[in-house]
Structure 1
């Protein structure tokens, strides 16, 4: 059971991703009419739909063992951060104010910066910074800069 769970989406980004889907559907119909390359176009459409579904949202889940950041379906994009690897955390205003090497970014109110021991720092966007701050502090992770 997750102590915290949030899914971030962007209507503007989702609307923008409809364009490649529509163009692929037009291409699929055209290859069907011609009678050549339909199978290849169908496979390309399936892969594209999976990738687009993955990047159309960002899921953040905090468990007692660690933090899991994944795409909407968690097929291609997934990062697990064990809590023992986190040295400290900081919650900052604005979704672009966390300069970590690995940044999972979506338009939101704030971002969470995780300083890790001996590994790349990670940051992610959130719309509920107060809840994340409370959960991470309850798990014994100190606040940093």
Structure 2
């Protein structure tokens, strides 16, 4: 399916939060190497740590004719697909911390989107283009509250 709406929300703050741990692991690997110690343990944990840090840096939101998809950069931690016919109501509120679903993907942004489903848990995420997202969802027949200028 071709995406009708696509947006990527990025957060460089996540990288800044992870930077001290990344530097600490790098210094530990260097010190272990210089001391002639085995670095296997540190290297084994460094690779997943870097993958998680990269994964948390961005969130991609796509809407096609049948689904709304939420994915993190690598799709390791955040990966959710919601069929549009499962959506009971979409609430769009100003401010990226203004809503909280059972499953919550938060990045600094302009607005927060809360999806109430007919079955399953509610889901919320951040968007920087709430007006466009609301218009696309309304066009596809999804009830939307808020999101207009």
Q: One fold, TM greater than 0.5?
A: yes
Aligned residues between the structures: 145
Contact 1:110 / 1:129 at 8 angstroms: preserved in 2? yes
SS in 1 for 2:144: coil
Q: How far apart in 2 are the matches of 1:13 and 1:54? A: 10
Distance 1:58 1:42, change over 3 A: same
CA-atom RMSD in angstroms: 1.6
Runs of 4+ in 1 over 4 A off after TM superposition: none
Task: Determine if the alignment matches structure 1 residue 97 to structure 2 residue 95.
Answer: no
Contact 1:31 / 1:41 at 8 angstroms: preserved in 2? no
Where do 5+ consecutive residues of structure 2 fail to align? none
Contact 1:8 / 1:106 at 8 angstroms: preserved in 2? yes
Contact 2:111 / 2:128 at 8 angstroms: preserved in 1? yes
Q: How far apart in 2 are the matches of 1:112 and 1:9? A: 16
TM-score by length of 2: 0.89
Where do 5+ consecutive residues of structure 1 fail to align? none
Question: What's the offset of the Cα at 1:34?
Answer: 2.4
Question: What's the offset of the Cα at 1:9?
Answer: 1.7
Q: How far apart in 1 are the matches of 2:25 and 2:87? A: 42
